[in-house]
A and B are shown apart, each in its own frame.
Chain A
Amino acid sequence: MNYVLALVFGGFFGFSLNKAGLTKYNKIVNVFRFTDMAVLKFMMTALVVAMSGLFALRGLGLITFPAVPATYIVGNLVGGLIFGIGMALTGY
Chain B
Amino acid sequence: MTDRASPQTSAVAALVLAWAIPGAGHAYAGRWGKAALFFGCIVGLLAAGMLLGRGTVLAPHELWYAAQLGALGPTIALTPVSQYVAVREGIDYADRWREMGVLYTAVAGFLNILVMMDAYIKMAYPHERGRKEKA
Chains A and B come from one and the same complex: no
Residues of B within 8 A of A (CB): none
A contact residues vs B (CB 8 Å cutoff): none
